[in-house]
Amino acid sequence: MLRFLKAARYSGPMVFIVASLAIGFLVAPPQKTEIGTAELSSPHLNVTPRTDAERARIADITAMPATFTKPEAFETNPAGAATVRARKTADAFSQPSGNISFERELDFKVGNGLFKKLWVSSPSSTLASDGLGPLFNARSCQRCHLKDGRGHPPEGSEDDAVSMFLRVSVPAAPEEDISEIEAFLLSAGEEPLRVRPDPNYGGQLQDFATAGHKAEYRLEVTYEEFDVPLSDDQTALLRRPTYSAEDLGYGPLAEGAMLSPRVAPPMIGLGLLEAIPAEDILALADPEDRDGDGISGRAQMVWSFEHDRPMLGRFGWKAGAPTIREQSASAFAGDIGISSPIFPDPWGDCAAGQSACREAPHGDGDVRKTEIDSEGLDLVTFYSRNLAVPARRDVDDPQVLRGKAVFHETGCASCHRPKFVTDRLDDQPEQSFQLIWPMTDLLLHDMGEGLADNRPEGRASGREWRTAPLWGIGMTEQVNGHTQFLHDGRARSLLEAVLWHGGEAQASRDAVVEMPKADRDALIRYLESL
């Protein structure tokens, strides 16, 4: 009976979406592809190819709106049939896809259990849960992604940086062997930005350690505040952060070490982002800005250790991971020190010089072979793939509609691309052929010197970041009890986040500064409705 009720509840939106895709006559968007999709094909195995007729219908329904006097069709359902109602509690980001079946919801709940699971150090009588560290940032996925939402920087000396850490890398020496992705970029005619993990600390700094080991560091953040004048005699107060790695436990960082702060991003809608066709993302890339609009997004290219080939990067602040499964395995290794079939080293991110860490007891000596096995990783991936996006609120509010118009008029939608239609996926019904509104193009953009971390990652320079999805951003305070945004949480409000935009977004940022206060308020009100 429950399965029937769920099917009945969501059959309406699914039918209407398909019906909408069946009409319209707009041609496909201009092709600005810089990389062939053969090299960066879908991460999914069971994709039904689109016909030319379908491409034309999809171009119609994903076209930018012509007017802003009323909401667009299906705008209240940003995740298509996978959308869930917007709860008024802190659990708003922790719901399964709205169109998930009764049987598959059980896998979601088991995956949720593994996501919350507290890992313990080895040796332990709890064989299914040992293998923590020895160096780590958190004991569970949930500790960083609290309530499946957004992390924050530490506030004061008593607040651990449990949902934030520092990535670290050093320039590669000229004589070092090139990596797989560097070889691919060279073959494509690019000069890769070559970096390597710090020889003493690895690829990220861990601020916790198991008994008998020293933590790698303590994160310290200081801020310098400054005023930004706005129109209508308004002023915004921004804070510029400085990060330092204090109390280093394993000697100094290597010469030229580059640090990049990262807060845990929200988990909602990841499966739908993964289901966006690579060709649709690549069609938006315009690295030479040939159309002259000032926006020159680039596709991130990464090496997939699971698929052993170059793939389009989609996940992480610089799009450094190609799939949810690989991103999950990378987080297990780097954040918790847990090995997996993709990253089987039992010591996680311990550098070659950290011999005590590498030689410590680990949790891979039993039948699992790795500390989380393939089945466990699949369940965490399924859970992460199916964390639902809540429905939009107040889409017909006049101030929200005015804010939406301002969002488009100022060019925000050039990078925060509103709509896509996902692939037809035979084995992922929740994500298959959905009209979604993630508000991102998943491309890398130069965000200016103010947001630069000066640390390359893959194809991304020290000034480039992936366009962050905006769906659910207005519920951050409800879910996580704060309003701190951007990759390092420096912005204490949505307006501050906008004012930090530079580089390709400088013109849009300046327009927000100069527009009447009523329009600026409407823009923020629109973002809060997402």
The residue with greater pLDDT, 1 or 161, is 161
pLDDT exceeds 90 at position 9? no
Q: How much is the average pLDDT of 290-297?
A: 91
Q: Exposed/middle/buried for 235, CB within 10 Å: 0-12, 13-18, 19+?
A: exposed
Q: How far apart are CA 211 and CA 305, in angstroms?
A: 31
pLDDT at site 8? 33
Q: How much is the average pLDDT of 132-149?
A: 96
pLDDT at site 47? 86
User: Which tens digit of pLDDT belongs to each residue from 312-369?
Assistant: 999 999 999 999 999 999 999 999 999 999 999 999 999 999 999 999 999 876 667 8
Q: What confidence category does residue 31 fall into, taking pLDDT thresholds of 50, 70 and 90? A: very low
pLDDT at site 41? 59
User: Which tens digit of pLDDT belongs to each residue from 196-240?
Assistant: 999 999 999 999 999 999 999 999 999 999 999 999 999 999 999
pLDDT exceeds 50 at position 125? yes
Long-range CB pairs of 120-128 (<8 Å, 24+ gap) are: 121/210, 121/211, 121/361, 122/360, 122/361, 122/362, 122/363, 123/361, 124/363, 127/363, 127/366, 127/368, 128/368
The residue with greater pLDDT, 7 or 232, is 232
Contact 170, 259 (CB under 8 A): no
* Residue 125 three-state SS: coil
Contact 303, 323 (CB under 8 A): no
pLDDT at site 30? 37
CB neighbour list of residue 198: distance below 8 Å, 6 or more residues apart: 168, 169, 170, 253, 254, 257, 351
Count of C-beta atoms within a 10 Å radius of residue 47: 18
Q: How far apart are CA 14 and CA 364, in angstroms?
A: 45
Q: Which two tokens stand for residue 448?
A: 């200016």
**In the chain, what percentage of residues exceed pLDDT 90?**
85
pLDDT at site 40? 55
SS (H, E, C) 188-220: CCCCCCCEECECCCECECCCEECCCCCCCCEEE
Q: Exposed/middle/buried for 16, CB within 10 Å: 0-12, 13-18, 19+?
A: middle
Q: What is the pTM of this model?
A: 0.91
Count of C-beta atoms within a 10 Å radius of residue 126: 12
pLDDT at site 25? 26
pLDDT at site 366? 66
Q: Where are the domains of the chain?
A: 2-31+47-107+385-529
Strand ranges, E, within 247-346: 258-263, 301-304, 309-312
Q: Name residue 334's amino acid.
A: G
Q: What confidence category does residue 159 fall into, taking pLDDT thresholds of 50, 70 and 90? A: low
At residue 220, φ and ψ (nearest 5 deg) are -125, 130
Kindly list the distances between the CA atom of residue 427 and the CA atoms of 44, 104, 274, 281, in Å, as whole numbers in the listed order.
9, 12, 14, 22
Q: What confidence category does residue 27 fall into, taking pLDDT thresholds of 50, 70 and 90? A: very low
pLDDT at site 10? 32
Residue holding tokens 């769906």? 471
User: Which tens digit of pLDDT belongs to each residue from 348-361?
Assistant: 999 999 999 999 99
pLDDT at site 89? 98
CATH of the structural domain 2-31+47-107+385-529, one choice from 1.10.3470, 3.40.190, 3.40.50, 1.10.760: 1.10.760
The vertex-471 CA angle with 497 and 507, nearest 5°, equals 40
Angle between helices 374-385 and 102-116 (to 10 degrees): 110
Q: How far is CA 330 from the centre of its chain?
A: 13
Count of C-beta atoms within a 10 Å radius of residue 223: 12
Q: What confidence category does residue 34 fall into, taking pLDDT thresholds of 50, 70 and 90? A: low
Q: Name residue 423's amino acid.
A: D
Q: How much is the average pLDDT of 234-249?
A: 97
The residue with greater pLDDT, 9 or 91, is 91
